[in-house]
Structure 1
Amino acid sequence: MKKYFFTLLAGLYSVIAQAQPVQVVKGRVTDTESQQPVIGANVVITSLNPVIGNTTDTEGYFRIENVPVGRHSFKITSVGYDHAFLQEITVGSGKEVELTIKLSESFKALDEVVIKAQKENGAPLNDMVSVSGRSFTVDQTKRFAAAVNDPARMALSFAGVATNDDGNNQIIVRGNSPKGMLWRMEGVEIPNPNHFAQEGSSGGGISALSANVLGNSDFLTGAFPAEYGNATSGVFDLKLRKGNNEKREYAMQAGVLGLDFAAEGPIGPKCGASYLANYRYSTLAVLNKIGLNIQGDFSNTFQDGAFKVYIPYGDRAVVSVWGLGGLSTSSADNEDLKEKFQSNRGVVGVNYLRFINNKSYFENTISYSATKQSDDFYDKIRQTNYQQDFINQALRISLLYNYKMNARNTFRLGVIVNHYNFNLFDKDDEDGPYVVKVNQEGSTELFQAYGQWKHRLTSTLTLNAGIHAMLLALNDQSSIEPRLGLKWAAAPKHTFSLGAGLHSKTESISTYFAQVNIGDNRTDELNKNLKLMKSAHAVAGYEFRPSASWRVLSEVYYQHHYNIPIGPANTTTPFLLHNSQLNEISGFVTDTLTSDGKGRSYGLELTVEKSLTNGIYFMSTTSLYQSKYTGRDGIERDSRFNGKFVQNVLAGKEWKVGKNKTNIFAANIKLLAAGGNRTTPIDLEQSRKDRKTVYDWSKSYSEQLPTYFRTDLRVSYTKNRKRTSSTLSLDIQNVTNRLNAFNRYYELKNDRVKLITQTGLLPILNYRLEF
């Protein structure tokens, strides 16, 4: 009966549709744990009056016709399942909207009155995440001021996250080095997905990810579930959406950062298969080719692409083939230096998902990835040269088995095998004749295994327990890592959470093979037996949701780091004596290291957030933290990333404009204040003698630069026609043109210590067309 009622309402809206653009909203509703279809679920658009919707068929699919364009909220209900809510869903006239919705089974009798834990907006997609995790949408990467379609830059607005460089999207999570970040796509680890990335880093100048192919994804900042390994600071768990399997759709985009083209559509006649592809080419490269050089002595060019092919086999199996790749080059030739830096990367994978029965499934993934970094640098003033050529390849096989025993218990087991091939070369003549820092070719393996158990003790109390194991074959270093999470919905608006776990991380392969000078013109690979860096996390959280669109979340955490690479016991080198790998951004180290260091970070975070409803959204995130390390000298110091506080305020407003109020004008603002970068004082006299910057490492990171302030604005206008949607946007980064301090160095030419400032006002204009 409900289905006929929804059909009648849709028919009434079709009459209205003649006066304004409408679109199709479709998707699938599945069980959270088993991924089986939920039959007969009601999907209702609550933002319309009267509401419209539809029910799911025998495969869990639904389709709602003639949905007016605009922002909409959804409520999803089904007998025997907890309710779910979706907000901030953008419906435009250019593309159909496809939703993936998961419901958690209720195990209470139907006539019992109980408090139910409901799937709320912003909750992690991975239901085994108990603390320090949230989902984010592609729309947020487009809408947030200063995000410019980049998930990493968008995440800088979340609690616990900071950065220290306007020109780089490295993210510092809870005062930890960006090296501890894990990037995953479609369930497997991928190389750093950023252009102009350096060896061992997790960020870069420009993201190689495209908003045209990304789906809703998760971002985690601590106490990860057992399936996540080889990470100590944060996790980006990215998903690619599947293409439209019913009609062909296209998107074109032109802006300062690049020219994009995306296409998607069905494969074959009504089999449910689809393709999705995107390609982007650097705008600056295009201008250079037609003779317009606006970069001066520096030239930065890049291109990237991504795709996904989705092929279902009956109702029991799905094969997905996907990939991501990017090429980037930075070159310069002026009176001071000549350099050509290249950073290329790519990954391709095949996923096979097979449902064994209505309680269990397995998913197998095979992926191959490769990165190539080369750098040829010549300092014309000091007449020194630096050459580097790193090639890293990885073949990964991931096996996952998921079994939902009943509404209370779900088990997940997995094995991941990583086979690495590497060809590494690095040399320089900074301190005399050419010194080779690494020259190695070979292979090794990293083995991982995990088990997870989700146990719902009551309808409001959920336990997530598991264990992760790692073994690096290169040096037989291993780790057994217990994980535990607890979530209690004490009342309809109040949720408490706890999480704890041990996490470990390998060093970059190049660090293990660094050729350290041991005298008499001999070198040795002294870092080959470094232990896995480990970090123990403990988190407690409280969430209050006064309404469906508002939430207040606070978390307190403590992290203990050990097995940190530091200088050897007998070192007298100031840098090795007073420093630690907890202060590094990239991963290639040529010094002798031993795994004797330690550190800690702790803090308090507060998020006040209103999702985009009634044309308004708001988010305030406050992070108060301390980040410490202890080096070879045994003294605990502030780490390089101990900014101590970060305060973000984001807000936005949308107005419906035009004759039929179907077009949207939007304004967004972001205000940021954060503790300045920490830096090590420069020894001016020694710098003059050595004719280069020499730091006083006995005072490592004892100075803090001025507080970082920045204001970003974004304005956009979206026009919805009958079959197309176009958006013109302008992002103005650092509106006040404040030149925030970045670091100091010794300028040989003028014999002075010079302050390096960060990016000033930067406008980014963009036009997007969907059809």
Structure 2
Amino acid sequence: MRIRRISFFILLCCLCWNVFAAEYQIKGVVIDKSTRQPLEFVNVLVVGLGIGASTDANGNFLITQVPPGIYRLQASFLGYKTELTPEYRVNHVTPYVQIELEEENASLNEVIVTASPFQKVPESPVSLRVIGLQEIEKAPGANRDISKVVQNYPGVAFSPIGYRNDLIVRGGGPSENRFYLDGVEIPNINHFSTQGASGGPVGLIDADLIRSVKFYSGAFPADKGNALSSVLDFSLRDGDMERNSLKATLGASEVSLSSNGHIGNKTSYLVSVRRSYLQALFKILGLPFLPAYTDASFKIKTRFDSHNELTLLGLGGIDRMKLNLGIEGEDAEYMLSYLPEINQETYTVGGVYRHYSQRHVQSIVLSQSYLNNRNVKYRDNDESSEENLTLRLGSIEQETKLRMENTSSWSVWKVKAGFDLNYSRYKSNEYRKVFTNALREYDYHTDLSLWRWGMFASVDYAAPDKSFTASMGVRTDGNNYSDKMKELWRQLSPRLSVSYRLIEGLTLSGHVGLYYQLPSYTALGFKGEEGEYVNRHLDYISVSQESLGLSWTPNENMELSVEGFYKLYGHMLFSLSDQIPLSCKGNDYGTIGNEALSSEAKGRSYGVELMFKWLLAQKLNLSSSLTIFKSEFKDGEQGSYVPSAWDNRFILNMSGTYNFPKHWSLGAKVSCIGGSPYTPYDVEKSSLVEAWNVQRRAYYDYSRYNQERLPVFGQLDVRVDKTFYLKKCMLGFYLDIQNITASKLRQPDALMSTGQIENPSAPLSEQRYVMKSIRQESGTLLPTLGITFEY
């Protein structure tokens, strides 16, 4: 309530202010991408405004009288490819823009065409989407969280159950994704991450630092390994080389403070610190868990000269999740019975050195990642006796990574080659009670060191008129975990992409590839009751992917595409106790993979995606997507396919943001997803006293795995933005309402113990609780008021 009063007071003051129609300027430089030399007489335009300027002898340009807003710039010059920049916010601290132009191979008398924001590259002509600044800032229902922004795109499912950001792409599990930050790989992009997977309730990366995001749902570049379902490649902003600025944001779940600027005339910086108030929000909503987090990130970039630069990056978070033991109700009682307390610390620091030598670019990437995950659970949350302890996990993952690569361009050809070297250490102290057919206790210590290596190369061809492109790549990976994992030929990963322009604006593209992923450290480091590594026999997980797409761009503002995909999994990790693939787990808090596994399961996911995007500069950002698909698995060669946990069958998203005069904008998003399959409970097993006391939640009857299905779910999100551009500052407000219709998803009743034993005179192994059912529904109307101030 206090926050709302303060926000209303600030808004009232701004409305009473004599705000003028501010205009700003854009400064920048245009250089040759190969020689790094400035280019004179380049025409630079602000897309959507029709105003611009030409560069001087030093390649500098200055565009004046630009209204505030978010814009792209278009640079064109005879003999060079027309370049369209990422989006930039124009205000009192408009960043200095550097544009790199690549020499054109076509004849000089050809007409220069307008660049399109719908990016296609020879290596990934299908399954690639580029997400810009405006979409990240104003996506309805996303609250500036990139994991939720991505859910607007084809093939990406969302879960109406729980407050999580798990990425489920094209029927693959949440453990099959990889993330990069300006070339540095980061293990996870969410707070409270599920160890062995990739999800969590809230994003780790501050949206104020992001320039753009490349989202690959297939056709992964050869230099980005270990991915099966998606790759998110983040590009961060550079610090401003002309001035220092400060920005404060009050968001959906946190308050953040960021700054960018320069140190001397060669080094820029970008830094952000955030602190959550999510625990207060969850307490108001009456949720049984109270998460709190802090994160910080930075980017420092030094340009030694026109041919050498060094970027230092850092990203870290501290997570604490306590249980809200003071609330009442059966729902709270049920969740409190099994949720553990979670404490995590994570960070990644890295450096990227680049040397530009005419047509060759050499890159060296060195990084260190760290995760310390601790989970504790006592029966009935009673810590007075160690007899009540059911889980104590202390787990550390450390990775040191080196990647070196060279990219060379000649005329219509581009060649990239390099190698990876990775030293990993996984340490775990785990005590855990498990009930399968009888009560078992695991109490072991793991200290696993692992060397990993990989090599990659790719060759791209693009016809001078871009009517035809082709890319062929290969990579291979190995490690010293086992003898067969050392053999590089077992993980040979070829891929081929082709694109052909049938007629002007209509392009047919395709891709085939084979990809591999190393099992998680939790799986590799798991020990049995005798203290031995029980999963030494595991293989790399594999998936072959085929995609075929047709895209139509009638003009530079509109795109309609249809794409079919087929994914065939091999050597899937299979839980020997539950008899389901490990990829069907990972969308809950805790840890996955620390169990006995095999590599015998197979799977497949296939479907068709339709996407429509309409972009009008300064006016409209509209996108719609429909995915129809199936996701299935089977154990070994025998038997029939069974629906996976991610087999929703269809996903529909319609999202749009319209910009009104006076810097108002209105956005809305309609989402609809098919019912998830689910497994009935094993009532007999769940009611056993020994079984229930270990897990404190019902056991599934995996003999009937995913034989039932939830109903279809849909929701409507709405967002309103208002921004004030003043002489020396910017003040913005937004109201984001998730699930404004308060749609509810009816789920199967939860099965829970009453605490009363129905046969107390029986032997302990035969005693059973009297069970009860608890009605389960999900779906909450969640309004958020956000404030942004930049000085």
* TM-score relative to the length of structure 1: 0.88
2:445 aligns to what?
439
Match of 1:110 among 105, 108, 113: 108
8 A contact 2:122–2:497 mirrored in 1: no
Deviations 1:600-621 (A, max 9, x none): 1111001011124352221110
In structure 2, distance between residues paired with 1:200 and 1:653 = 40
Q: Which amino acid aligns with 1:666?
A: S
2:4 aligns to what?
none
Match of 1:471 among 471, 478, 488: 478
Q: Which moved more, 1:372-381 or 1:231-240?
A: 372-381
Q: Which amino acid aligns with 1:137?
A: G
2:320 corresponds to 1:329: yes
Deviations 1:721-769 (A, max 9, x none): 1121111111111111112246653211282344543340011111001
8 A contact 2:93–2:243 mirrored in 1: no
- 3-state DSSP of counterpart to 1:153: helix
2:433 aligns to what?
429
Measure how far apart 1:42 and its partner are.
1.6
Measure how far apart 1:385 and its partner are.
1.9
Shift of the 717–323 alpha-carbon distance from structure 1 to 2, 3 Å rule, reads: same
Measure how far apart 1:470 and its partner are.
0.6
Shift of the 32–596 alpha-carbon distance from structure 1 to 2, 3 Å rule, reads: farther
Match of 1:155 among 133, 150, 153: 150
Q: Which amino acid aligns with 1:26?
A: K
2:672 aligns to what?
673
Q: Which amino acid aligns with 1:528?
A: R
In structure 2, distance between residues paired with 1:41 and 1:597 = 57
8 A contact 1:23–1:91 mirrored in 2: no
In structure 2, distance between residues paired with 1:135 and 1:628 = 29
Q: Which runs of 5+ in 2 are unaligned?
A: 1-18, 326-332, 383-387, 755-769
Shift of the 232–29 alpha-carbon distance from structure 1 to 2, 3 Å rule, reads: farther
- 3-state DSSP of counterpart to 2:137: helix
- 3-state DSSP of counterpart to 1:212: helix
Q: Which amino acid aligns with 1:236?
A: L
In structure 2, distance between residues paired with 1:239 and 1:73 = 16
Measure how far apart 1:491 and its partner are.
3.1
Shift of the 594–32 alpha-carbon distance from structure 1 to 2, 3 Å rule, reads: farther
Shift of the 434–700 alpha-carbon distance from structure 1 to 2, 3 Å rule, reads: closer
Q: Which moved more, 1:472-481 or 1:329-338?
A: 329-338
Match of 1:739 among 734, 741, 744: 744
1:512 aligns to what?
524
1:3 aligns to what?
none
In structure 2, distance between residues paired with 1:40 and 1:693 = 71
Deviations 1:339-376 (A, max 9, x none): 42112210111111112x21112111111110111011
In structure 2, distance between residues paired with 1:287 and 1:148 = 14
2:301 aligns to what?
310
8 A contact 2:41–2:54 mirrored in 1: no
Match of 2:196 among 193, 200, 203: 200
Measure how far apart 1:63 and its partner are.
3.5
- 3-state DSSP of counterpart to 2:661: strand
2:534 corresponds to 1:526: yes
- 3-state DSSP of counterpart to 2:492: strand
Match of 2:171 among 169, 172, 175: 175
8 A contact 1:452–1:465 mirrored in 2: yes
Match of 1:547 among 555, 558, 563: 555
8 A contact 1:687–1:694 mirrored in 2: yes
Alignment of 1:138-149 (within 5 A): 138-149=133-144
Measure how far apart 1:588 and its partner are.
2.6
Give the percent of matched residue pairs that are identical in Structure 1 and Structure 2: 23
2:66 aligns to what?
67
2:629 aligns to what?
625
2:81 aligns to what?
82
- 3-state DSSP of counterpart to 1:600: strand
In structure 1, distance between residues paired with 2:174 and 2:309 = 35
2:596 corresponds to 1:592: yes
Q: Which runs of 5+ in 1 are unaligned?
A: 1-17, 658-663
In structure 2, distance between residues paired with 1:369 and 1:717 = 39
In structure 1, distance between residues paired with 2:85 and 2:240 = 20
8 A contact 2:174–2:583 mirrored in 1: no
Match of 1:239 among 218, 227, 235: 235
2:545 corresponds to 1:537: yes
Deviations 1:68-95 (A, max 9, x none): 21354543211122323458x4644342
Alignment of 1:450-489 (within 5 A): 450-459=456-465, 460-476=467-483, 477=485, 478=488, 479-489=491-501
Match of 2:716 among 711, 714, 717: 711
In structure 1, distance between residues paired with 2:296 and 2:507 = 41
Q: Which moved more, 1:127-136 or 1:215-224?
A: 127-136
Deviations 1:568-599 (A, max 9, x none): 6xxxx5x22xx122312266324322212111
1:615 aligns to what?
619
- 3-state DSSP of counterpart to 2:609: strand
2:789 corresponds to 1:769: yes
Measure how far apart 1:687 and its partner are.
2.4
Deviations 1:176-217 (A, max 9, x none): 111110011121321202111121121211111011212212
Q: Which moved more, 1:93-102 or 1:466-475?
A: 93-102
In structure 2, distance between residues paired with 1:41 and 1:744 = 66
* TM-score relative to the length of structure 2: 0.86
2:117 corresponds to 1:121: yes
Q: Which moved more, 1:579-588 or 1:175-184?
A: 579-588
Q: Which moved more, 1:637-646 or 1:445-454?
A: 445-454
1:14 aligns to what?
none
Deviations 1:419-449 (A, max 9, x none): 1012112222354877226520131122111
8 A contact 1:447–1:470 mirrored in 2: yes
In structure 2, distance between residues paired with 1:34 and 1:698 = 64
Shift of the 57–470 alpha-carbon distance from structure 1 to 2, 3 Å rule, reads: farther
Measure how far apart 1:134 and its partner are.
1.4
Measure how far apart 1:56 and its partner are.
6.5
- Equivalences, count: 724
- 3-state DSSP of counterpart to 1:195: coil
In structure 1, distance between residues paired with 2:718 and 2:458 = 43
8 A contact 1:388–1:425 mirrored in 2: yes
1:344 aligns to what?
345
Deviations 1:519-548 (A, max 9, x none): xxx353221231000001111111111121
2:709 corresponds to 1:697: no
In structure 2, distance between residues paired with 1:440 and 1:36 = 54
Shift of the 117–329 alpha-carbon distance from structure 1 to 2, 3 Å rule, reads: farther
- 3-state DSSP of counterpart to 1:142: helix
2:759 aligns to what?
none
In structure 2, distance between residues paired with 1:20 and 1:551 = 34
CA RMSD of aligned residues (A): 2.7
1:562 aligns to what?
570
2:721 corresponds to 1:721: no
8 A contact 1:23–1:67 mirrored in 2: yes
Measure how far apart 1:394 and its partner are.
0.7
- 3-state DSSP of counterpart to 2:135: helix
Shift of the 516–258 alpha-carbon distance from structure 1 to 2, 3 Å rule, reads: same
Shift of the 225–293 alpha-carbon distance from structure 1 to 2, 3 Å rule, reads: closer
8 A contact 2:513–2:546 mirrored in 1: yes
8 A contact 2:48–2:616 mirrored in 1: no
In structure 2, distance between residues paired with 1:156 and 1:122 = 18
